[in-house]
């Protein structure tokens, strides 16, 4: 149902009822309901179709490195056919690697999808509607535009309603607006030339809201995707998919390797023509070099490393929905977080008390003080919240969050609401309303004394108070005393506290009629209660760690500016030089002005969903990797377009979880920091694995290239190269990914989004270490060639490069620390991987059948001793470079 030119909030309920052809007294007829159900459809959000498993599988092949490997497999097969023996072993091996990689990636993403579905399983809510003149309870999915919905405490608002009745009605709308306090609703129209923010539309009840107080009735003006929640869900479908930094780096690596392999092939052809070699032989040699240039095991190793990271994060209460997102967390340079329920507990809590004796923290409040006891006693009695007698109940306190906060503190101090109501029998009450801003009860004590207990806004309570209580003595409320109370109220408000005043009075007889005029008069002011939705305990440390790690924390909330500023200051998000922007100020900024403002802005208050998207996009224009965390419907579009969206698993809405990359199953902001650390560890270890694999590939290229240039024969066959790349190197490369995080992991800035793997330091290390591996294996080849011809030379080169790589992996733990400074037990899996690779190498050499397949000879004792000496060279050389501080460039 689309709105007319005038928004629904600026029209009366009667006008809207006339437009929608419905009676406010009788509701829709059954016939009309069926017609509208057919016209508008069921009242539910449309979901994207679940990605079929075959599509997830095919997506695993969509990157440049895979394309290069497919090209190598095809070229190898073509050359084999041209040679006339049609041996497809090498091609089959490469294809098998790609399939294994795709299966691993598919399994991980499918498991994450199932985990999300399990989180989203919730019972379908029901609603009370007026149809054919009778109140009926129906499934919320059957609600249609024009239905008259009855709202009571505990109901979930099934659709967007224009309220026709609102009796002391309060609705919690935190998931949509971000406000931590329930919104007070009324039926009066809103006249404004400008569009009113969602949080200020007091005559509209929004879909997914929870009724916490009072009752009401409203006309359905929007269902399903035509609700405010539906509009946000629709925005998700328009948000483009983001490529993760890891995907960008892997694609860049694939392109570099592809160009390298192509360049090598061309160069070999030129050299072959110069020497006058056979064209087909040169083509096969070119293919051998292309195979040598590409680390075939890299794709499956990268996938497995990310998959193991996913499993580690599951144990740390984080579900990762797609593999590359694990590493993206480690690259995050900005974390934009919603306030309510993410940085705060989403639970109103009384934190400060004020009596004429002064202000105290609730942790220090003592019932021995008369004013404190009377303050909590009166506030608990003038209260509609409920307390469960079961101490193990999942939700002990139910009702309006402001009132549950009071009875929770009272019970903590020893005043149980249920017991108090037995001692102070309630005889009558005057409910809270938005005009009086007070609530009062009449109670009879055990000894028969009648008392009035009242709480409400400070000005409203002072207006009907004649005395104040101090140290048990009832004193006249003089102008000086009133000013003192007003200053205390102002001081609490500046702390972003929601302030309630409390008063009581002894009365001689029960009023004949219970009205505000007969009950709320001649009261004794007791004190003030200051409450707030407090920060999560662990958030302060988490924010401090973010700053140490070079990450900019940003708060984005729909709540009021004063509240957001106070919380942000308390937890460390709002620092010196940072500014606060509200939604109106943000809306007035152009995209260019917002681009200039975001680096200096730490808090955004009173923002709309589209504002959150603009903030994320402005940061991305600064080439920052942006993480957005949140739990509400209003967070979902920003979660979708962020580089990494993090949703809350417990309080998070289904819409926000579907839009996210990572879901926190414990709703703990601090888990983000753990996930960032895990992401950085994964990135560091993937870089180690890539450096290890590429240094071996460069070594192979150096060996074969020198042999071709100087016409020294063929030092390695394609099957040797595939064994080295897939077996000898893969096990250690995979095992080094289990290295623990470096001590300085969270003391250094994140890797820039546009920084690829090929930094100056990285290029230097793979170059000199690759040349080292190539020259060592060349020496082994020449010794073997001299002593026993081509086959012994190939055997010596093959064994040498395998042994050198197995020893060299120990150099990769750190770019600066010598290998002996990293004890083997720090990564015992690596030791087992080295032993496994060694055992497989010895099997190939010592088992005659395997030796024949690889066309090797058995070296004698002398040659084994030579190989043993050569394998130690990497340990000596690389550790010397580290000690001389020439293993890195500018410390990287």
Closest Cα partner for 3 from 155, 151, 201?
201
Cα dihedral sign, 655-656-658-664: negative
> Radius of gyration (Cα) for the chain, nearest Å?
36
* Residue entry with tokens 């009272």: 410
Contact 578, 564 (CB under 8 A): no
d(CA 300, CA 750) in angstroms, rounded, equals 25
Closest Cα partner for 689 from 798, 773, 762?
762
Pairing relationship of beta strands 160-172 and 210-222 according to DSSP bridges: antiparallel
Number of neighbouring beta carbons within 10 Å of residue 720 = 27
Integer angstrom CA distances of residue 92 from 74, 95, 304, 794, 803:
10, 5, 21, 23, 26
Which residues, including other chains, have CB under 8 Å from residue 248's CB and lie 6 or more apart?
753, 756
Q: Tokens for 785? A: 């060639």
d(CA 263, CA 828) in angstroms, rounded, equals 40
Q: Tokens for 447? A: 């000894």
Closest Cα partner for 14 from 147, 164, 220?
164
Which one-letter DSSP state was computed for residue 524?
E
d(CA 352, CA 350) in angstroms, rounded, equals 6
Name the 3-class secondary structure at 432. coil
Helices (H), 370-432: 370-381, 401-412, 417-423
**What's 850-890 look like in SS3?**
HHHHCCCCCCCHHHHHHHHHHCCHHHHHHHHHHHCCCCCCC
Closest Cα partner for 786 from 863, 716, 724?
863
How many residues does this entry show for the chain?
892
Half-sphere exposure of 310 (CA within 13 A, CB side): 25
Closest Cα partner for 256 from 293, 287, 285?
293
Name the 3-class secondary structure at 225. helix
In degrees and rounded to multiples of 5, residue 452 shows phi and psi of -105, 135
d(CA 699, CA 779) in angstroms, rounded, equals 12
Catalytic pick among 338, 635, 667, 739: 338
Helix axes 324-331, 245-275, angle to 10 degrees: 110
d(CA 78, CA 73) in angstroms, rounded, equals 9
Closest Cα partner for 283 from 83, 418, 99, 145?
83
Cβ neighbourhood burial of 32 (10 Å; 0-12, 13-18, 19+): middle
In degrees and rounded to multiples of 5, residue 379 shows phi and psi of -65, -30
338 is catalytic: yes
Closest Cα partner for 737 from 225, 367, 379, 300?
300
Closest Cα partner for 295 from 131, 142, 450, 97?
97
Name the 3-class secondary structure at 413. coil
Task: Cite the active site residues.
Answer: 338
């Amino acid at each position: 149902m689309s709105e007319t030119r005038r928004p629904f909030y600026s029209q009366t309920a009667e006008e809207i009822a006339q437009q929608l052809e419905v009676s406010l007294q009788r509701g829709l007829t059954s016939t009309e309901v069926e017609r509208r159900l057919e016209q508008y459809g069921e009242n539910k959000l449309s979901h994207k179709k679940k990605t079929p498993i075959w599509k997830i599988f095919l997506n695993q092949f969509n990157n440049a490195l895979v394309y290069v490997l497919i090209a190598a497999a095809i070229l190898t097969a073509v050359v084999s056919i041209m040679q006339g023996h049609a041996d497809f072993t090498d091609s089959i091996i490469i294809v098998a690697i790609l399939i294994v990689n795709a299966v691993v990636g598919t399994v991980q993403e499918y498991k994450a999808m199932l985990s999300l579905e399990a989180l989203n399983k919730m019972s379908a809510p029901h609603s009370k509607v007026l149809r054919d003149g009778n109140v009926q309870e129906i499934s919320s999915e059957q609600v249609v535009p024009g239905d008259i919905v009855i709202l009571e405490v505990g109901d979930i608002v099934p659709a967007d309603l224009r309220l026709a009745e609102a009796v002391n009605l309060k609705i919690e709308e935190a998931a949509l607006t971000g406000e931590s306090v329930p919104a007070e609703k009324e039926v009066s129209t809103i006249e404004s030339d400008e569009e009113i923010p969602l949080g200020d539309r007091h005559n509209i009840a929004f879909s997914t809201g929870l009724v916490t107080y009072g009752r009401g009735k409203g006309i359905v003006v929007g269902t399903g995707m035509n609700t405010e929640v539906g509009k946000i869900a629709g925005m998700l479908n328009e948000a483009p998919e983001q490529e993760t930094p890891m995907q960008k780096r892997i694609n860049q690596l694939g392109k570099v390797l592809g160009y390298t392999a192509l360049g090598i092939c061309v160069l070999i052809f030129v050299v072959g023509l110069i020497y006058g070699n056979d064209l087909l032989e040169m083509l096969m040699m070119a293919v051998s070099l292309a195979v040598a240039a590409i680390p075939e095991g890299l794709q499956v190793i990268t996938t497995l490393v990310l998959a193991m990271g996913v499993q580690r994060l599951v144990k740390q209460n984080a579900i990762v929905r797609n593999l590359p997102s694990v590493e993206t967390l480690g690259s995050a340079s900005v974390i934009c977080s919603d306030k309510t329920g993410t940085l705060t507990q989403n639970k109103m809590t009384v934190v400060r008390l004020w009596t004429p004796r002064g202000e105290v923290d609730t942790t220090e409040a003592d019932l021995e003080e008369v004013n404190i006891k009377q303050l909590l006693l009166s506030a608990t009695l003038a209260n509609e919240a409920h307390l469960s007698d079961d101490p193990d109940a999942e939700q002990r306190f139910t009702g309006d969050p402001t009132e549950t906060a009071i009875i929770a503190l009272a019970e903590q101090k020893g005043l149980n609401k249920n017991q108090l109501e037995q001692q102070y029998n309630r005889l009558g009450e005057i409910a809270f309303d938005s005009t009086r801003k007070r609530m009062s009860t009449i109670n009879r004590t055990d000894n028969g004394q009648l008392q009035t207990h009242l709480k409400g806004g400070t000005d409203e309570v002072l207006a009907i108070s004649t005395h104040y209580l101090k140290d048990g003595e009832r004193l006249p409320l003089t102008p000086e005393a009133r000013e003192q109370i007003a200053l205390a109220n102002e001081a609490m408000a500046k702390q972003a506290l929601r302030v309630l005043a409390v008063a009581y009075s002894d009365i001689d007889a029960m009023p004949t009629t219970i009205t505000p005029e007969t009950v709320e008069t001649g009261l004794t002011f007791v004190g003030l209660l200051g409450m707030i939705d407090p920060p999560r305990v662990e958030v302060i440390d988490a924010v401090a760690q973010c700053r140490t790690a070079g990450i900019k924390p940003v708060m984005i909330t729909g709540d009021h500016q004063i509240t957001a500023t106070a919380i942000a200051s308390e937890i460390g998000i709002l620092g010196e030089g940072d500014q606060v922007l509200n939604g109106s100020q943000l809306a007035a900024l152009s995209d260019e002005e917002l681009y200039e403002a975001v680096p200096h802005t730490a808090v955004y208050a009173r923002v709309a969903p589209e504002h959150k998207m603009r903030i994320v996009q402005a940061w991305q224009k600064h080439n920052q990797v942006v993480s957005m965390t949140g739990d509400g419907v209003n967070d979902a579009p920003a979660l979708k377009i962020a580089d990494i969206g993090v949703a809350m698993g417990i309080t998070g809405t289904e819409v926000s979880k579907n839009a996210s990359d990572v879901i926190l199953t414990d709703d703990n902001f601090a888990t983000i920091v753990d996930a960032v650390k895990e992401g950085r560890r994964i990135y560091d270890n993937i870089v180690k694995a890539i450096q290890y694999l590429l240094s071996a590939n460069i070594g192979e290229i150096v060996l074969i290239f020198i042999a071709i240039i100087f016409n020294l024969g063929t030092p390695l066959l394609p099957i040797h190269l595939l064994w080295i790349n897939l077996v000898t190197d893969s096990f250690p490369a995979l095992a080094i990914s289990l290295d623990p995080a470096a001590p300085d992991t969270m003391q250094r800035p994140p890797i820039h989004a546009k920084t690829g793997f090929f930094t100056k330091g990285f290029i230097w290390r793979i170059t000199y270490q690759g040349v080292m591996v190539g020259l060592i294996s060349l020496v082994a080849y020449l010794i073997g060639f001299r002593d026993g011809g081509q086959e012994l030379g190939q055997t010596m080169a093959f064994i040498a490069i395998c042994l050198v790589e197995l020893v060299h992996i120990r150099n990769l733990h750190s770019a600066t620390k010598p290998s002996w400074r990293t004890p083997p037990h720090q990564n015992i899996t690596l030791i087992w991987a080295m032993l496994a690779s060694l055992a497989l190498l010895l099997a190939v050499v010592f088992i005659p059948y395997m030796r024949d397949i690889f066309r090797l000879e058995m070296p004698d004792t002398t040659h084994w001793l030579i190989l043993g000496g050569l394998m130690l060279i990497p340990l000596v050389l690389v550790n010397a470079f580290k000690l001389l501080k020439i293993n890195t460039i500018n410390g990287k």
